[in-house]
A = this chain, B = another copy of it.
Amino acid sequence: MSADPSSLAATLPDGMVITDPDILAGYRQDRAADPDAGTPVALVRPTSTAEVQETVRWCASNRVPIITRGAGTSLSGGATAVDGAIMLSTEKMRDIVIDRPTRTAIVQPGILNAEVKAAAAAAGLWYPPDPSSFEICSIGGNVATNAGGLCCVKYGVTTDYVLGLEVVLADGRAVRIGGRQLKDSAGLPLTKLFVGSEGLLGIITEVTLRLLPPQDRACTVVGIFPSVHEASRAVLAVTAQIRPAMLEFMDSVSINAVEDMLRMGLDREAGALLVAQSDAPGAAGAAEVELIRRAFEDCGAGEVFATDDPAEGEAFTAARRAAIPAVERLGSLLLEDVGVPLPSLPDLIGGVEKIAAVNRVMISVIAHAGDGNTHPLIVFDPDDADEAERAQRAFGEVMDLAIELDGTITGEHGVGRLKKGWLPDQLGPDVMELTTRIKNALDPDGILNPGVVL
């Protein structure tokens, strides 16, 4: 598993292959900061599909593992080096073309989600998927994890917007699958197979994204609840009746952490807060706002207020998005991404409270509540070995609970390295075996992103 990358460097433009240990050190880990990350032999920053192919061919013939990295924002260790690997960063693959008549964007993987949104908006269009990290995460990573976000509750996840892909396979061939046509039943649904495959099956070098006409102006409803229990019941009261354009949840710890960081006047006494949006036009929007307000009040909200001022609404959305970085200031984080069928949301949130109490760790819960996808954030002091161990135990117990509740260990972040120990419990041996068979069929030597998922 070790080969001299200078023979690769010789085939690529000057400076594209980097072996400087100081630079490599910055690419070993992603945002999950896996302490078990290895050390790559080289970093390659291609600008074109042909250069990706060249790199993969070199890795294939030398049996060198290759880890693809977008913006390095994986929260589950999806882009973590192993010893002797090539780290392939897509950060210089940043082309984007908006095709107005077909309402599509054709993008290279390194462009950021926010840049896709901005380019679409400049053409009078809209790219909906909006991970909280949209300003710093790459579209390639979004595709690799089937990333979600806040608007998914109404507008779906990344896979719903991927019409076509160019993928470099494990042997260095590049294939095009799907395209700009909106419907396509020709052959196996390979485009969909690659979305969410976490780099196991190929390297995504181009994405054709479906865009929508601009979103209608959204109204925002904020509910302040005495505890998480009333708030989680209010989520179900809303989703049973309508599809809100957003329905986000913050608990008391995250409210206070955000308030500490942003000083925006959030109610520090609140037990939980819900931020909902409706983008239904005109009277229909007003009716949805009224319905949400009533649902919040009926479920015990102490205070509810609604605004149709986009700036005011955005302030609350920004508060919710700031929750992870804000809670991160309280200590080291173990970040969960568990999801359950909606009726089990109160059981999940209640169960997480118990897990926190039993293990004597702080767990702050924030959630894309409208689609049942929650992010319990386990806060611990890494210098306190006992607490760190209790945090790790709680981390596993939260996933066990999600599986018990017929849910998933990851709604949008991917399994990566941090959650793979729990995947067999969720999927069972037969589905694991099926997964392995597909992996082996497409990457028989196992050079693509080894160490994640399987």
Contacts and interface: CB of A to CB of B under 8 A. Distances in A.
A186 B281 contact: no
A177 B187 CA distance: 21
A428 to B, nearest CB: 7
B101 A371 contact: no
Given A241-B213, A284-B216, A437-B441, A410 B175 contact: no
B181 A411 contact: yes
Interface stretch (A40-48, A108-116, A190-198): A190-198
A275 interface: no
Interface string A174-194: 011101111111111110110
Interface stretch (A5-13, A51-59, A340-348, A389-397): A340-348
A426 B152 CA distance: 32
- In this complex, the member of A145, A184, A201, A243 whose beta carbon has the largest number of chain B beta carbons within 10 angstroms is A184
11 contacts: A181-B341, A181-B411, A184-B411, A185-B410, A186-B415, A187-B432, A187-B435, A188-B197, A190-B431, A193-B193, A284-B284
Interface string A153-180: 1001101100000000100010111011
A146 interface: yes
Interface stretch (A218-226, A305-313, A401-409): A401-409
**Across the A-B interface, the 9 shortest Cβ-Cβ residue pairs:** A281-B284, A192-B192, A441-B441, A180-B341, A183-B411, A182-B371, A101-B343, A189-B196, A184-B408
A373 B182 CA distance: 8
Contacts of A195: 189, 192
A196 B188 contact: yes
Contacts of A173: 430
Interface string A258-292: 00000000000000000000001111100000000
A240 interface: yes
A412 B183 contact: yes
A23 interface: no
Interface in A336-377: 337, 339-343, 368, 371-373
A62 to B, nearest CB: 22
A440 interface: yes
Contacts of A197: 188-189
Contact of A434 (B159, B175, B341, B431): B175
Given A183-B368, A186-B409, A281-B284, 13 more contacts: A101-B341, A101-B342, A169-B434, A175-B434, A177-B427, A179-B341, A181-B411, A183-B408, A184-B408, A186-B410, A187-B435, A188-B193, A281-B281
A2 interface: no
A212 interface: yes
A236 interface: yes
A320 interface: no
Q: Choose among A100, A189, A413 the residue with the greatest number of B CB atoms under 10 Å from its CB.
A: A189
A373 B101 contact: no
A189 B193 contact: yes
A415 B341 contact: no
A186 B160 CA distance: 17
Given A179-B341, A185-B408, A282-B281, A156 B148 contact: no
Contacts of A408: 179, 181, 183-186
A413 B187 CA distance: 11
A442 B413 CA distance: 27
Nearest to A437: B441
A25 interface: no
A101 B180 contact: no
Max chain B Cβ within 10 angstroms of own Cβ: one of A103, A177, A181, A453: A181
B189 A431 contact: no
